[in-house]
Amino acid sequence: MCGGRKAVIKIKHLLDDVEEDDGQRIWIEPIGLTLDLRQWCKVDFILSHLGPTRALWKWYEQRPEGYEFFRAKYHELLAQGPYRKELLDIVSAARHENVTLLHQGDDADNNSAMAMYEFLCELDAYVPPEI
């Protein structure tokens, strides 16, 4: 996943081309998607509850220079939130199949999906290796 494993986690904008090796496509922004947009962009899972809070997300939208703060607060929310098992499940799944985290931000390197990816890479150390 993060450390050179076969399966990978990709980061893409929602409107980027769908590729055959995208695997499961997961929307993690704190807003929902309409059914037609979900189908058109081939989104497999809407996991908005794993995204940043709306307040933090809106704050970052208005202050794109504040990515480091946004990422730190988002990681804090993920670490202290009730969804640790679900996050570990994503890490575990990403060891066997490709996963694509989808975002709607303008910056390809600094967005909710990238912040989630970085958190999942850190969390990867807590998932035991398979024998």
100 belongs to a structural domain: yes
Q: pLDDT band at 5, cuts 50/70/90?
A: low
**Stronger pLDDT, 93 or 50, i.e. the higher one:** 50
The pLDDT assigned to 1 comes to 56
69 belongs to a structural domain: yes
**Residues 84-93: contacts with CB under 8 Å, at least 24 apart:** 86/47, 86/50, 87/50, 87/119, 87/120, 87/123, 88/123, 88/126, 88/127, 90/26, 90/120, 91/1, 91/120, 91/123, 91/124, 91/127, 92/127, 93/24
The pLDDT assigned to 7 comes to 66
Full DSSP string of 29-69: SSS---HHHHHHTT--EE-GGGS--HHHHHHHHH-GGGHHH
4 in the Ramachandran plot: left (φ > 0), alpha (ψ -120 to 50) or beta? Answer: left
3 belongs to a structural domain: no
Domain range enclosing 29: 9-125
**How far is the C-alpha of 49 from the C-alpha of 54, rounded, in Å?**
10
For the chain, the domain total comes to: 1
DSSP helix/strand/coil, 5 = coil
The shares of helix, strand and coil residues in the chain, as percent rounded to the nearest 5, are: 50, 10, 40
pLDDT digits (tens, 9 = 90+) for 6-33: 668 999 999 999 999 999 999 999 999 9
pLDDT digits (tens, 9 = 90+) for 78-96: 999 999 999 999 998 898 8
**Whether residue 2 has pLDDT greater than 90:** no
71 belongs to a structural domain: yes
4 belongs to a structural domain: no
Q: pLDDT band at 111, cuts 50/70/90?
A: very high
1 belongs to a structural domain: no
14 belongs to a structural domain: yes
